[in-house]
Amino acid sequence: MNKKLPQLLRPNVRLYFLLLIAFAVSTFFGGGYSRLLAGIQGIVIILAALYLIYATKRRTAKLLNYLESISDSMDLTVRDTPLPVLIYNSETGEIIWSNERFLAITGLQEPFFEKNVASIIPGHSWDWLLEGKHECEEPVAIGDKFYHVFGSVVLSDRDYLAMTYWIDITEYSKIKKEYEQTRLVFILLQIDNYDELFRGIGAKEKSAILSDIDDKINAWITDREIYLCRFDRDRYFLLLEEKNLGEIIADNFSILDEMRSCVGSLGIAATASIGIGKDGASPIENYRHASLGLEMALSRGGNQAAIRNRHGFEFFGGRPQAIERKTKVRARVMASAFGELLTDASTIFVMSHKTADYDSLGAAVGVCCIARSKNKQARIVIDMKTCIAGNIVEKIMARPEYKDVFITPQEAMLAADKKALLVIVDTSRQDKVESKSLLLSCARIAVIDHHRRTEDYIDNAVLSFNEPYASSASELVAEMMQYLVDIDEIMKCEAEAMLAGIVLDTKNFAVNTGSGTFDVAAYLKRAGADATSVKKLLQSDIKITTARYDLIRLAELYKGDIALAVSQSEHCRVSIAQAADELLNISGVNASFVVAKDGDTVYASGRSIGDVNVQVVLEKLGGGGSQATAGLQVQGKSVDDIAADLKKAIDKHVGRR
C-alpha cells in the first residue's frame, strides 16, 4: 500500500505537463526573444514538477501518520491487518481510505476515494455505528457474499471517522439459512363446530362429510412435504419444516376457506381453527406453542390461524362471525366455579376497562348481584370522571344496597388482601383495565369477556369465561346468574343496567345476536327490566346527537362498501362510536370507520355487518374488540396519521376477503 499511495495521491497532471512542454518547444523555434521565453518556460516547468513531487510526498507522509494514529487508538495497524478495512466520514459518508483486501471484495479495480459509502454498499444502514455499537447485527451483502462487520467511530482532528473491519461469513450464513429452513413446525388443526355440524344427521352422511374434510386437508398439504395425522374425532396433527410454513402463509391458509364448503344437512358450514408452534427449544415446547396458538384462535372466535413463536402471536383469517355454541354446559360449569370463588374470597372487586360504558357497568352490576346472593358485597372499581354511563350509576347508587359500592382504584388498593378476588369484566387486555396496579396486586383474578382475545391478554386468571360468540359481557354474566341467583333477588335497576348493555352492544339486537342473547333478554325482562326505561337510559343529549351527524356528513365510501369518516375537529368518544353505528344504516355500507380526536387522544370506531372484520383491521393499529364492533385510542399521533394507517390496514384486509 505504501508504494501505491503516492500514485493514488498524485494528481493526474501528465497531460498538462506534455502540453506545456510542447508549447515551450514551439516557442523555442520561434527565434529571437522566443528562445529566451522558452528557456524560462522550461525552468518553470521543471520547478513545478519538483514541487509536485515534494508536495505529494508530504501528503503521503501526513496521511500515513493520520491512519497510523487512528489504528493506534484501536490497537490495530490498518496497513498490516489481514482483514478488509474501510474508513469513511461517519457524518458525510465520504470514503477516506480502504486497503486492497476491501477493494478486492467489491470487485473494483480502482480505489474509490471521495465516493459515498452508500454508492459502494447500497441499502445498508450504518446507524448501528452512530448508536455506539461495535458490530452490525445483520450480515452485510456484497455481491453474492455476506460479511460480519465490526467497527467504531473515533474523533480525529475535527471529523468523526468510522473504521470498519469485514469478516467473510458466507458459508456460515448458508448453514444458518439451511438450519432455519429445516426447523420443525408443529400444527394443530381443529374443526370448530364439530357437534353442531353433525347434530341430527345419520352415520352415512356424517362419514361423507368427514371424508370430504379429510380430502380437502390432504389436498391442501399435497406437494408440501407435510406429515398429517388425525388423532381425535375433530383434531389433526401436522408436522413440517419451516420452509413449508412460508408457503402456507403466502397461501393465507386457504384451508380455512375451503373447509366452509363442507356443509351439513342443516346448512351449517364446517369451520376450522389452526394453532402453529415454532421456534421452540425442543419438540415439546413447539407442541406447547401450537396448543397455545389453537387456544388463542378458538378464544378469538375460531375460523382462523394463530402462530405462536418465542416472540408472541401472529394471526391470520378470522373473517366470519364467531360461532355460537348452543350448549349451556360451559356457562353452567363457569357459574359453579365462579360461585365458589366468590364464597372463598375475603374481598371482591369488580373492574372493567378504562372509560367504563353501559356494557361493562351492566356486567359489573350483575357480579354485585351474584355476590349479594352469596352474602358478600362486591365493590365496583371505577373512575367517575371518565365513565360514560353516569345516568345508570346515579340510578343504582340511589339504592341502599349500593351504598359505598363504587370506589376508586386507590381505595381498592388499600382494601386488597391475600384472599381478595378481582373480577375483570368486558376486557381481557392487561393494558386496558381501569387500574393495572390493582391487577398486579391481586393474586386471584377472574375474567368475564366477550371480545376476541389479543396477545396481551390476562394469562394468570384462575377463571376465564371468554366467549366471542356472546353479544356482550352483560350477556355472559346474566347466563351465570341463571344458575346462581333466584330471579326474585335481582333488582329492577340491575336488570335494566344489564339489558342496556346488551341492547347497546347489539345495536338493538341487530348484530352479534344469537339465540342465547334473546334467552338472556327474556330472563332479564322477567326479572323486572322495562324496555322503555332502557330506551330512556340510552338516549343522547342534543349536543352529542348533532355532533354525530356532523361526523356522518364527512363520510365517504372507501373500497366500495366501507364508509370512512375522518374529522379534524374535536368530538366526544360517544359521538364517534354512535356515528360509526349510524353509518351502517346507509344502503350498500357493510362496514364503517370513524376517526376523530377528543382532547389529546385520537379515537377510531369500527362497525361491521358484513365480512369485514373490524377487530382484525383495528388490531393492526393497536386496537381491539369483536368482529362487528371494535375501537382504538392512540395518543401522540395525529388524526391524519391514524387515518393513513387505517387505510393501509383496510387495504390489506380487503385484499384477503
Domain borders along the chain are 4-72, 85-173, 183-317, 329-537, 542-654
Mean predicted confidence (pLDDT) in 217-225: 90
- Phi, psi (degrees; rounded to nearest 5) at 134: -110, 5
Q: Which CATH architecture has domain 329-537?
A: Alpha-Beta Complex (3.90)
**Alpha carbon distance 503, 490 (integer Å):** 19
Residue 32: pLDDT band with limits 50, 70, 90: low
**Alpha carbon distance 322, 301 (integer Å):** 4
Name which of 75-84, 187-196, 290-299, 331-340 the model is least confident about: 75-84
Q: Is 357 exposed, middle or buried (0-12, 13-18, 19+ CB in 10 A)?
A: buried
What is the β-pairing status of strands 421-425 and 348-351?
A: parallel
Contact in structure between 262 and 269 (CB atoms under 8 Å) = yes
Other Cβ atoms within 10 Å of 18 Cβ, number: 10
85-173: CATH superfamily: PAS domain (3.30.450.20)
Higher-confidence residue: 112 or 345? 345
Q: Cell 407435510, residue?
A: 226
pLDDT of residue 544: 87
- Of 114-128, 490-504, 616-630, the range with the highest mean pLDDT is 490-504
Cα atoms in the 13 Å half-sphere on the side-chain side of 581: 17
| pLDDT tens per residue across span 409-449 | 999 999 999 899 999 999 999 988 999 999 999 999 999 99
Name which of 363-372, 479-488, 623-632, 644-653 the model is least confident about: 623-632
**Alpha carbon distance 147, 559 (integer Å):** 45
Q: Cell 478486492, residue?
A: 104
**Alpha carbon distance 453, 468 (integer Å):** 8
335 CB-near residues (< 8 Å, 6+ apart) = 479, 480, 481, 482, 483, 484
Q: Which of 219, 237, 217, 215 is nearest to 227 (CA)?
A: 237
**Alpha carbon distance 426, 100 (integer Å):** 67
pLDDT of residue 563: 94
Helix 473-484 vs helix 358-373: angle between axes, to the nearest 10 degrees? Answer: 10
Alpha carbon 365 to its chain centroid, in Å, reads: 33
Q: Is 119 exposed, middle or buried (0-12, 13-18, 19+ CB in 10 A)?
A: exposed
Residue 28: pLDDT band with limits 50, 70, 90: low
pLDDT of residue 158: 63
**Alpha carbon distance 217, 610 (integer Å):** 27
Other Cβ atoms within 10 Å of 89 Cβ, number: 16
| pLDDT tens per residue across span 63-95 | 656 555 554 444 445 556 788 888 888 888 888
**Alpha carbon distance 648, 651 (integer Å):** 5
Q: Give the type of residue at 498.
A: M
Q: Which three cell numbers stand for residue 642?
A: 391514524
| pLDDT tens per residue across span 563-606 | 999 999 999 888 999 999 999 999 999 999 999 998 889 999 99
pLDDT of residue 310: 85
Residue 34: pLDDT band with limits 50, 70, 90: low
**Alpha carbon distance 606, 557 (integer Å):** 14
Residue 6: pLDDT band with limits 50, 70, 90: very low
Instruction: Extract the runs of DSSP E, i.e. beta strands, from 454-561.
Output: 463-466, 556-558
Q: Give the type of residue at 421.
A: L
pLDDT of residue 556: 94
DSSP-derived 3-state class of residue 55: helix
> DSSP label at 506?
T
What would the DSSP string read from start to end of 394-409?
Answer: HHHHTSGGGTT-EE-H
**Alpha carbon distance 463, 460 (integer Å):** 9
pLDDT of residue 325: 55
CATH domain 183-317 topology: Alpha-Beta Plaits (3.30.70)
Q: Which three cell numbers stand for residue 460?
A: 394468570
Residue 311 vs residues 280, 314, 597: alpha-carbon distances, Å: 11, 10, 32
Q: Which three cell numbers stand for residue 587?
A: 344502503
Q: What is the CA radius of gyration of the chain?
A: 36
Q: Cell 371518565, residue?
A: 386
**Alpha carbon distance 342, 370 (integer Å):** 9
CATH domain 542-654 topology: Diaminopimelate Epimerase; Chain A, domain 1 (3.10.310)
Name which of 321-330, 352-361, 541-550 the model is least confident about: 321-330
Q: Which of 446, 463, 445, 469 is nearest to 520 (CA)?
A: 469
Q: Give the type of residue at 577.
A: A
Cα atoms in the 13 Å half-sphere on the side-chain side of 486: 4
**Alpha carbon distance 481, 108 (integer Å):** 79
Name which of 92-101, 267-276, 357-366, 511-520 the model is least confident about: 92-101
| pLDDT tens per residue across span 304-317 | 899 998 888 888 87
Q: Which of 364, 622, 372, 407 is nearest to 497 (CA)?
A: 364
Q: Is 318 left (phi over 0), alpha (psi -120 to 50) or beta?
A: left
**Alpha carbon distance 627, 616 (integer Å):** 8
pLDDT of residue 420: 94
For residue 175, pLDDT beyond 80: yes
Contact in structure between 277 and 308 (CB atoms under 8 Å) = yes
DSSP-derived 3-state class of residue 578: helix
Contact in structure between 450 and 475 (CB atoms under 8 Å) = yes
**Alpha carbon distance 59, 213 (integer Å):** 79
**Alpha carbon distance 653, 44 (integer Å):** 77
What is the β-pairing status of strands 95-98 and 85-89?
A: antiparallel
pLDDT of residue 19: 61
Q: Is 65 exposed, middle or buried (0-12, 13-18, 19+ CB in 10 A)?
A: exposed
Name which of 153-167, 251-265, 437-451 the model is least confident about: 153-167
**Alpha carbon distance 330, 434 (integer Å):** 28
Cα separation of the two ends of the chain: 63
